[in-house]
Chain A
Amino acid sequence: MVSINKTSSKPYYEQLMLGIKEDILNGLLQSGDRLPSVREMARQLMMNPNTVSKAYKLLEAQEVIVTVKGKGTYVKKIDPTLRDEYQIQKIKNKFNELIIEANYLNVSKDELTHWLEESDQQLKGESI
Chain B
Amino acid sequence: MDASPQSGVTPGRGGCLGMNNHTVIACHECDLIHRLPLVHPGHVARCSRCSAVLVRPKSNSVERTLALSLTGLILFFIANAFPFLSFSLETEVRETTLLSGVLTLYAQNERAVAGLVLLTIFLIPLVQLSGLLYIFVPLYFGKTARRTPVVFRLIRKLQPWSMMEVFMLGILVSIVKLAKMAEVVPGISLYALLALIFVLAAIAVSIDPHHLWLKWEQSQ
Q: Are A and B part of the same complex?
A: no
A residues lining the B interface (CB < 8 Å) = none
Which B positions have Cβ atoms within 8 angstroms of A? none
